[in-house]
Structure 1
Amino acid sequence: MSPYRKTGSRIPRFVIVSIALVAVVAALWFWKGRGGGDDEQRFRTAAVEQGDIRVAISATGTLGALSTVDVGSEVSGKVEEVLVDFNDRVRKGQVIARIDPSTFEAQIAQGDASIASARASLATAQATLRNAELAYSRNRELAAQKLVARGDLDQALAARDQARAQVAQAEAQIRQQEASTRNARLNLGRTVIYSPVDGVVLNRSIEPGQTVAASLQAPVLFKIAEDLSRMEIVLAVDESDIGQVKQGQTVSFTVDAFPDRQFRGEVSQVRLSATNTNNVITFPVVVAVDNADQALLPGLTANAEIEVSRRDGVLKVPNAAMRFKPPVDPAATPETPQRGGGMTEELPAIAATLKLDAAQQAAFDDALAKMRERIAARTATPPQGQTGGSALFGRMPGAGGGQAPRGGNASGAMRQRMMERFNQQFGAFRAALNDDQRREWDSAINALVGARRAPVYVLADGKPKAVTVRVGASDGSSTEIIGDFKVGDEVIVGLQTAEPAK
């Protein structure tokens, strides 16, 4: 056999083996890239954690003094002295400015002279009156003796009455001049401007020599903050958030003057006067702030967060777990989400807040035990043909035929029926409560029944499985969940991103 023929026979086998190896490597790479054989690696998971959730509303506002007084002038004139400056501390009754009093001093002198003249006129009128009364008396005696005509008596009577009127007029002129003089004296006193409160001068708008013109509205000369150790912020809260804001809620805020410092306050008032700015409705919320160290200044812009809800020590998952939806497989059979326990586990915690006595606790334990028995029975043997509802409350309105209830009316009917069942099952326990306990119980049960529920997905045999949980508070990154979960359980938060081919 020729050596060339032997060599030629080895080359095809080598080429075939090489091609086969390349094909196997390519198949493995493609199979691994598609996630074949390991479905769990297709999903990203996160652990259920226990921690605190703080729900807050952001808003901005301006810091101001709790009480600010505008000090003006009630009289016109030239400013003689200004005795305080910006940032000066003043006491109530302290002189802070003076206006030239010469005009009012002249008015007082003129008034005194007018009063003296009016008194002289009064003396003349009184003398005339005395003479007229004597003449009338004489004429009346003579008329009784038929010695004077009746007309003379009437004339004497008229002269007497006229003299009395002149006396009254002179007395009125005296009172008028005295009142005018008193007003001039009051205006003279107003030329000295006093501080009406203890505080700090925030603004001064006059200088010595300046003329003040007080007409229909008193000009503002000084602005005095009464107490800067206590301040307030007026926040503009959007109408979509105002329903969550209540008096007494905690507020934290920062100001640009102290970027590394966190300040705290408390909601003191939610005002009803809405403001419309470019079709954006906001409501003013007043926040009381303690400024004992005088660090905060009036006029600073505050970036605030109002803490509307806080949940401590709750189970929470990343918000991505609430948004995750598994890819739809047309060949797969739709799966009904597994209900989380939740409700029966939360009822003891609600009862614990009511401070029950022994009889009330026994009634609660009996009702709860019967509820759990009913749940176990319904879970073990669901009624024939029932495809909707829950193990606790049975078939809900609109839940037949395998279809979920649609529309707000069905949801409202569900909640109504759930409340009726709760009232039936816990009727004896509720009747044993006093009025305050009953109100707390009803409020907690309403919150429990009306809570939003959503599916969270876990991995079961490498496949996503939906578990319905009750959704609580959310702070934007994590959401509280109530259901059959414990710390460390894994929930699906998304799909793994395939690595790019090299």
Structure 2
Amino acid sequence: MDQTVTDARARPERTARKEDAGKNASVPDSAASSDVKTMAARPPSRPGRRFRRVGALAITLAAICAVWLGNRYLISHTVEQFSMKPVDLTVELSGPGTLDAMRTSLISSRLQGVIATMRVDRNDRVSQGDVIAEIVTDDLKSELGASMASVDAARKAVDLAKADRQRAEAALANARLSFDRQETLLEKNAASKESYDNAVSTLRQAEADLNRSLAAIEQAKAQEQAAAATAAVQRVKLDDGTIRAPFDGVVVSRDHYVGDTITPGSEIVRLVDPASIVLSARFDESSIYRLSPGQKAIIRFNGAGKDSSIEAAVLRIDKQVDTETREFSVDLRPETLPPNWALGQRAMTTIAVDTRKGVLAVPNDAIERRQGKPGVWIIDSGRAYWIAVTLGDAGGPFVEVVQGLEPGDVILSEPRDVYFGMKIA
């Protein structure tokens, strides 16, 4: 009743305002009276509905939280576990390395000339003495021919000198007989002093001729030796025109081709002995006391896959440390080589340096670091908790735990999405 009276009292005022607005906005009178009736018929809102909606929302959120907490802390989760017990740990050192060769040769020419033929190319295998390349040596062949002619002439001169010696020896023998005869006749006063003197002079002349023939022989022999030496030099130069492999190996590079002019010392090909290939690995200087020749190692080349590993052994340890990186090099000799290899190829090597007996070790994947500190997730009373540990030496997929765990402890071997207090099946 009061509401109706109030609406009746307010109706003239609202109607007057509507009429004034209709004059300005050109609104029909029928529309204005319709709005008034609608407002008069709308029931008032009830405050209790708003509180019921808030309560339902709160109940829904509480149910969601209860389900989430129940799933998080009341439902058991199945995870991979690892039980701690003493084991024998093979301590290993890992480091990067590159392929190198201890026996390599930059094959070049000792002559200056034009390459006439090339017998090898990259990746070709050659044996010791095989022809690598040949240089144009027409001028050297001519010089060698002239030297050989000089040798022949010197040899004939020696033969001629020897013939003169035989003639001088015959003349000397005849002069000695004449001298002996004149000396005997002179003693018997059967010959004159003048005849005796002539015999002495003839003997001395024959002796001088023999000595001269002997000297001529030595001179001819010296000339023959000089000509032979010159010919030998020319022959060596001619042989230098044919470049041969100094040892068995593989051609890894080629810098010249047929028709190129080369100078003495310029590289033609590079030859590598596959048997001398080593892996030069680098390690921190703190590890040098743990290495020694003969230790076993494993080499894994980049991109070859985890299963493509090659056994090797430590060959030698360098005695010099890089002053900038504080690293030293270790040469490892691989037992075999992959089908495709290249000098400078990168690889990772793992060297077994020691075997520790009866130590506690955990898988590498079980380690989780927080703020730089290593730790593991331990299972206590059926729930997971993270604890800090002190690590020692590493060996393969395991790492030694010096402090923080005891035999019989159970940890998560591969923690994934683990949280504090998670219930473990």
Q: Does 2:197 correspond to 1:148?
A: yes
Per-residue CA shift, 1:127-165, capped at 9, x if unaligned? 432333233333333333242354553343223112101
Structure 2 letter corresponding to 1:206: H
- Does the CA-based 8 Å contact 2:158-2:221 persist in structure 1? yes
Equivalent-residue separation in structure 2 for 1:204 and 1:99 (angstroms) = 16
Match of 1:184 in 2: 234
Structure 2 distance, partners of 1:89, 1:123, is 51
Q: For the residues of structure 2 that align with 1:285 and 1:300, how far apart are their CA atoms?
A: 16
Q: How does 1:257-276 map to 2 (within 5 A)?
A: 257-258=303-304, 263-271=309-317, 273-276=318-321
Question: 1:86 aligned to 2:122?
Answer: yes
Structure 2 counterpart of 1:225 = 272
Give the Cα separation in 1 of the matches to 2:167 and 2:228: 28
Answer yes or no: is the 8 Å Cα contact 1:265–1:287 preserved in 2.
no
**Residue 207 of structure 1, aligned match among 257, 275, 293:** 257
2:215 is matched with 165
d(CA) in 2 for partners of 1:74, 1:240? 47
Deviation per residue, 1:58-94 (Å, 9 max, x gap): 4333203575444343444321111222223445554
> CA offset at residue 177 of structure 1?
2.0
Instruction: Give the equivalent residue in structure 1 for 2:331.
Output: 286
Task: Look up the equivalent residue of 1:208 and give its one-letter code.
Answer: V
1:246 counterpart (284, 292, 299):
292
- Find the partner of 2:151 among 115, 119, 134: 115
| 1:304 correspondence with 2:349 | yes
Q: Letter of the aligned partner of 1:101 in structure 2?
A: T
Asked whether the equivalents of residues 296 and 314 of structure 2 are also in contact (C-alpha less than 8 Å), the reply is no
Indicate whether 1:105 and 2:141 are aligned: yes
| Maintained 8 Å contact 1:267/1:285 | no
Aligned mates of 2:294, 2:211 — CA distance in 1: 75
CA apart distance, 1:305: 3.1
Aligned amino acid, residue 160 of structure 1:
L
Correspondent of 2:322 among 264, 268, 277: 277
Q: C-alpha distance in 2, partners of 1:108/1:209?
A: 24
Measured at CA, do residues 270 and 110 of structure 1 come closer, stay the same or move farther in structure 2, by a change above 3 Å? Answer: same
Structure 2: which amino acid aligns with 1:85?
Answer: D
- SS of the aligned residue for 2:339 comes to coil
Q: Aligned letter for 1:474? A: D
Distance in 2 (CA, whole Å) between partners of 1:317 and 1:113 is: 86
What is the CA–CA distance in structure 2 between the aligned matches of 1:202 and 1:183, rounded to whole Å?
32
Give the partner amino acid of 1:486.
P
Give how far 1:242 is off.
Answer: 1.6
Counterpart residue identity of residue 150, structure 2: S
Kindly provide the amino acid, as one letter, of the partner of residue 287 in structure 2.
Answer: D
The question of 1:479 aligning with 2:393 is answered no
Q: CA deviation at 1:292?
A: 4.6
2:359·2:400 contact (CA, 8 Å) conserved in 1?
Answer: no
TM-score of the aligned structures, taking structure 2 as reference length: 0.56
Deviations 1:450-491 (A, max 9, x none): xxxxxxxxx9xxxxxxxxxxx996229843569x9532289x
Structure 1 residues 235 and 135: alpha-carbon distance in aligned structure 2, compared to 1, 3 A threshold: same
What stretches of structure 1 move > 6 A for 4+ residues in a row? none
Q: Which residue among 224, 242, 248 is the counterpart of 1:174?
A: 224
2:180 is equivalent to residue 130 of structure 1: no
Whole-angstrom CA distance in 2 between matches of 1:194 and 1:284: 34
Q: What amino acid is the match of 2:296?
A: T
Question: Relative to structure 1, is the Cα distance of residues 489 and 67 closer, same or farther in structure 2, using a 3 angstrom cutoff?
Answer: same
User: Higher relative contact order by CA 8 Å / sep ≥ 6: 1 or 2?
Assistant: 2
Partners of 2:278 and 2:333 within 8 A in 1: yes
> Secondary structure of the equivalent of 2:121?
coil
**Alpha-carbon distance in 2 for matches of 1:281, 1:154:** 89
Deviates more, 1:58-67 or 1:100-109: 58-67
Q: Calculate the aligned-residue CA RMSD, in Å.
A: 4.1
Is residue 318–residue 479 contact of structure 1 (8 Å, CA) maintained in 2? no
The number of residue pairs the alignment matches comes to 292
> Do the aligned residues in 2 keep the contact of 1:100 with 1:191 (CA within 8 Å)?
yes
Identity %: 25
Separation (CA, whole Å) in 1 of partners of 2:203 and 2:124: 78
Question: C-alpha displacement at 1:167, in angstroms?
Answer: 0.9
2:316 and 2:310 map into 1 onto residues whose CA distance is 17
The residue identity in structure 2 corresponding to 1:158 is A
Assess, with a 3 A threshold, how the Cα gap between structure 1 residues 175 and 211 changes in structure 2: closer, same or farther. Answer: same
Q: Which blocks of at least 5 consecutive residues in structure 1 are unaligned? A: 1-45, 322-458, 460-470, 491-497
TM-score scaled by length of structure 1: 0.49
CA drift of 1:196 comes to 4.5
| Equivalent-residue separation in structure 2 for 1:246 and 1:206 (angstroms) | 43
Gap change, CA 1:247 and 1:278, over 3 Å in 2? closer
Indicate how the Cα distance of structure 1 residues 302 and 138 shifts in structure 2: closer, same or farther if over 3 A, else same. same
3-state DSSP of counterpart to 1:475: strand
Deviation at 1:53, TM superposition (A): 3.9
Distance 2:136 2:289 in 1: 55
SS of 1:173 mapped into structure 2: helix
Secondary structure of the residue aligned to 2:292 is coil
Match of 2:39 in 1: none
If you compute each CA radius of gyration, which structure gives the higher value, 1 or 2?
2
